Structure 1
Amino acid sequence: MPSLPRLEEVTTANLKTALSIRVRPDQEQNVEPVAESLAEAYVHPAGVAWPRLIVDGDRAVGFLMAFLDIDWRADGTLVRSGLWRLNIDAAEQGRGYGRFAVAAVAAEIRRRGGKEMYVTWHAGPDGPEDFYLRLGFRKTGEVSGDQPVGMLEL
């Protein structure tokens, strides 16, 4: 019987495993390394960043970090939640772990009362735009820095 993927909190016990997650070389320009994500989680107010290891059986297959109730405009006028980072290990891609990760973040946002989930991505031919659009995200017409913003109604 195949195992089901699950999320695990990143702890001292699995930190080295989390840091070993690597996307394909052609994807490196699209997502920050896990170490940078964990550093960002550390410097944001408690509870804003939600870093998790994606595990299947006894294998770490990826990493995600959600943002929960973040001050999107830095002035308190717009609060959003969504997927901040998604790193599926190069050897584990194409097995549904990315879809699982998006669904898991959506479930957590719903559990907290959210009705929308946001994501940004690097635009370009090698970027993940098609992946997010296939999952039901729609472009909002906004950009964050130079990245398009997508929204999924929950």
Structure 2
Amino acid sequence: MSICLKYITIENYFNVLNLEVQPNQRNFIASNSISLAEAYVYDKNGDFIVPLAVYDEEVLVGFVMIAYDQKIGISKGNYLLFRFMIDKRFQGLGYFKPTMDAVIDFVRTEPAGKATSLWLSYEPENNQARSCYLHYGFKETGEVIENEIVAIYDLTTKN
């Protein structure tokens, strides 16, 4: 397994749009078409947001979207893992950890500025995501944003 993150381009965007999660996961994550539309709008608003395709060598296996802002609270000067999805065909095959490692490596390059944390949020009912994130090293903060549980990863630690 050799995971790399690649920018969305004219060559791969349609394949990214066709990635899907399992039917029982659809209520927990926006579709990739919504995510790419959000990325476009946020970018046009001057925000840093980058949608990335997840590849195992040349095979597209997932999609992530990373943001950074200077607003208030937990988001101030930290990165946000806005989206994380592995296509249903590749779930359960060990892609979570190496994909998360690639996300952490990308964020540590400080593409939008310095940060000490990567944060995310998930629905309280999404036990699978919660388990994966906590096992990886994210810590729940006790905060709730838009009815989602907030968890944070300390970028100053080695993964």
Same fold (TM over 0.5): yes
Cα distance, 1:27–1:72 mapped onto 2, change above 3 Å = farther
Counterpart for residue 51 of structure 2: 51
1:33 to 1:50, Cα distance in 2 relative to 1, 3 A: same
**Aligned-partner Cα distance in 2 for 1:16–1:33:** 13
Question: Which one has a larger percent helix, Structure 1 or Structure 2?
Answer: 2
Post-superposition offset of 1:73: 3.7
> 1:32-47 to 2 correspondence within 5 Å?
32-45=30-43, 46=46
Counterpart-to-counterpart distance in 2, 1:99 and 1:143: 25
Which of 107, 110, 120 does residue 109 from structure 1 map onto?
107
1:68-103 residue CA offsets vs partner (Å, 9 max, x unmatched): 2x24449xx933212110111001012222222222
Could you say which residue in structure 1 is the equivalent of 2:149?
148
Native 8 Å contact 1:72 1:80 kept in 2: no
State the Cα RMSD in Å: 1.9
- How many residue pairs get aligned? The number is 149
The alignment's TM-score, normalised by the length of structure 2, stands at: 0.85
Q: Distance in 2 between matches of 1:85 and 1:125?
A: 14
2:19 aligned residue: 21
Ranges of 4+ aligned residues in structure 1 off by more than 6 Å: none
Change (3 A) 1:63 1:125: closer
Q: Which amino acid aligns with 2:79?
A: S
Aligned residue in 2 for 1:89: 87
Uncovered stretches (5+) of structure 1, i.e. residues with no partner: none
CA shift for structure 1 position 58: 2.5
